[in-house]
Every structure is written in structure tokens, then in C-alpha cells.
Amino acid sequence: MKVKAAVLYEVNQPIVVEEVDVDGPKAGEVLVKIAATGVCHSCYSVITGKEKWPLPAVLGDEGAGVVEAVGSGVSLVKPGDHVVLSISPACGHCIYCVRGYASLCLKAAQMRERPPRYGKNGKGIYQFTVASFAEYTVVPQEAAVPIDQDLPLDKAALCGCSVVSGVGSVANTAEVKLGSSVVVIGAGGIGLNAIQGAALAGAAQIIAVDLVEAKLEMARQFGATHTINASNGDPISEIHALTEGLGADYAIEAIGTNVTYEQAIRAIRPRGKAILIGLPQSEPICLEPQLLMNGERIIMGSALGSTRMRYDVPRLISLYRAGKLKLDELITQTYPLEAVNEAFEDMLNGKVARGVIRF
């Protein structure tokens, strides 16, 4: 079948929107007609080469759509089901799935890194995670999470990555407690959702840190009680001044640089937790060990918000229906697939809370 898709051929080159061939679903796979897809920093990391991925590849890691066809042995969804596509497919049977840590599923990598399902002129084109920058995609059934049919699919799409990751980093990984203080470093797609997650969890103080004033303004709309523009200098002393001189109970790092990783660790008080969710650089970070020993500080990574998609997505949707989770407000700009390069530029410039491509 011929479909329109956004293909990255080389790092640091514009994405090409073109017609490609897509395979039908093989055993255990489903063909999904994409309705909408968020424009996410994870894809941008593939564009810049920070995240290594075989190319050419169809990008897109935050999509939702309707199941069109299923391969043999598929039992989790059926044609006609509305689904959120999950960057965190989970087998449900490995020791981590059984323990409730589905985002650490031992089979996830195998499910994500499949042979090419797209092609052009007889040459294979890979898919980055769920490859939602295409009219149709083929994913393992474990990556398609059914949702109610009355839910707008553009809102639902955001639950595939940024919302589960951001809210999950607070609710699942950090387990933020009522009345606590939370610093969120980076007010992009993940960060804004960490901020609204902290507000939902009952944090008394939510301090957003970013370099872009427009993003700090959005942070306030999503629940930040204080904002710090780090382009004025190191934010740590200001964070400590706001938190009884001790530092915050929790810090969520949602950028992925060594500078901000270290800031998150220095931002927390003794017994505080620093949660690192931004995609890391490959260089090691340097820390004084007494920071950990003397203060019993906890540093923890968060793999996609410690998400268990089949549990978390319905919970998030319930919060949205109850008027408590802001999804409408996240989508500040929509684009056709042809404008995908512009959509990434707007994301980088802080012009959008979330850009969404609609099909």
C-alpha cells in the first residue's frame, strides 16, 4: 500500500515528506490509520543524531489512530478500535512487566527495533518507535493501547509519550507527596506535563526552570507556583532561597544535558529525589560523593515516566474527562504532515506547548 510519510534520510537534514510503501501487518502486528501525532523532542534527538537510530526512518513517537487490520495471532485489539500508540510496548510476561515496571520490559527493545516495514524503490525504510509521522503505521499489538471511541484522537495522541512520561515521572517514579516542593528543569513537552503532574499530586511549591520566557509563562498556566529564568545564571541559589535553604523535595530534569542533570541533583534537599528523564548525553557526569552520602539524596532515572501504558493511559484519560488534566491547552498549534520541519522549528523556539500534526 502507498502512504504519505515523513522520512529522515540523514542526520541534521530536513525531513522529506513523500509517498512510500508500507507492508501489511505480520503475525502479532497491527496496521493503524494515524489520526494525529505529537511533535516530540525524542524525534528531534534522532534528527540531531543524539539518539542513534538506523536510517532512513519514518519518525513519529506520539500517535493515535484507528486499527485498520491485524495480523495473525493478534488478540489485544481488533479492526475499528481506537488506539494510543505506545513508545513503551510491554510484553506483560517478563519479570519487569510482572513486577509492575512495564517501561523496563525486557522485550521492549526487540519490539521497537524491528526490520523495516516501509520501503521506497525496493529499499527498506525503518520506523522510529511507532512511526506515527505517516498516514498508516504497522506496530506490534503490544504498542497499541485501546481507548474509548468518543475521545478526540489528537488529545489522545499526547498520552503516547509526553503526557505519560511527564506526569509519570512525578506520579510513578518520584511518587511526589502532598504538600511537597518540586523543581522541574525544562518546560517543554515533558516538563509541562511534569508540572501539571506535580499540581495533580498536591505539591505545594512547583518551581519551573527554563531559558525561554515564553515556556515559563506556559509553565505558570500548567501549575508552576514559581519560575526561574536560568539564562540569568545558575538557578540553584534561587531554588534554595525558595525552599528554606534546603533545596526541594524533588527535582525533575526534563532536558537531558549534563549541566541540567547536575542542577537537578544540587536542587534537592537531604533525602530528596532527583529524577532524570531528559535523554542523556553520552559523557559521564561528575559529582561530589558526599552530596549523596551526607544527605542521603536519591538520584533516579525515569524510563518514560515508569509508565505502564495499559494502566496509566486510562487513568490519564479519566483525569482529562474530570477536567483535571490539561490536554486541550497543550495543543497550541496544529500542522499538516508537509509542515513537519516547521513544526520542529516551532518546538525548538518555544513557540508551542505541543505542536500536533493532524491527518
Among 17, 66, 69, 91, binds Zn ion (CB under 5 A): 91
> What is the rounded distance in angstroms from the CA atom of residue 295 to the CA atom of residue 270?
4
Residue pointed to by grid coordinates 559523557: 283
Question: Which residues 229-248 are close enough to bind Zn ion by CB under 5 A?
Answer: none
Q: Exposed, middle or buried, 61 (CB in 10 Å: 0-12/13-18/19+)?
A: buried
Beta-bridge mates of residue 86:
none
Q: Looking at beta carbons only, is 103 or 225 nearer to Zn ion?
A: 103
Q: Looking at beta carbons only, is 45 or 180 nearer to Zn ion?
A: 45
Q: Looking at beta carbons only, is 105 or 236 nearer to Zn ion?
A: 105
The interface mask with Zn ion, positions 101-120, x = CB under 5 A, is ----x---------------
Residue 61 lies near Zn ion (rule: CB under 5 A):
yes
Is the Cβ–Cβ distance between 356 and 157 less than 8 Å? yes
- 12 CB neighbour count, 10 Å cutoff: 8
Scanning 5-13, 82-90, 175-183, 241-249 for contacts with Zn ion by CB under 5 A, the matching segment is: 82-90
Q: Looking at beta carbons only, is 105 or 353 nearer to Zn ion?
A: 105
Residue 97 lies near Zn ion (rule: CB under 5 A):
yes
Question: Which residues 148-177 are close enough to bind Zn ion by CB under 5 A?
Answer: 161
Closest CA to 302 of 256, 359, 233: 256
Q: Looking at beta carbons only, is 162 or 263 nearer to Zn ion?
A: 162
Residue 251 lies near Zn ion (rule: CB under 5 A):
no
Residue 55 lies near Zn ion (rule: CB under 5 A):
no
Q: Looking at beta carbons only, is 91 or 214 nearer to Zn ion?
A: 91
Among 3, 55, 69, 94, binds Zn ion (CB under 5 A): 94
**Of all helices (H) and strands (E), which one includes residue 181?**
strand 181-185
Number of residues that bind Zn ion (CB under 5 A): 10
Scanning 14-22, 47-55, 99-107, 333-341 for contacts with Zn ion by CB under 5 A, the matching segment is: 99-107
Question: Which residues 259-298 are close enough to bind Zn ion by CB under 5 A?
Answer: none
What is the secondary structure of 288-353 as a DSSP string?
Answer: -HHHHHTTT-EEEE-SGGG--HHHHHHHHHHHHHTT-S-SGGGEEEEE-GGGHHHHHHHHHTT--S
Q: Rounded to the nearest whole angstrom, what is the least distance from the CB of residue 172 to Zn ion in the complex?
A: 16
Question: Which residues 14-43 are close enough to bind Zn ion by CB under 5 A?
Answer: 40, 42
> What is the rounded distance in angstroms from the CA atom of residue 129 to the CA atom of residue 123?
19
Q: Looking at beta carbons only, is 91 or 291 nearer to Zn ion?
A: 91
- 336 CB neighbour count, 10 Å cutoff: 13
**Of all helices (H) and strands (E), which one includes residue 5?**
strand 2-8
Q: Rounded to the nearest whole angstrom, what is the least distance from the CB of residue 297 to Zn ion in the complex?
A: 28
Is the Cβ–Cβ distance between 306 and 88 less than 8 Å? no
Is the Cβ–Cβ distance between 257 and 45 less than 8 Å? no
The footprint of Zn ion (CB under 5 A) covers: 40, 42, 61-62, 90-91, 94, 97, 105, 161
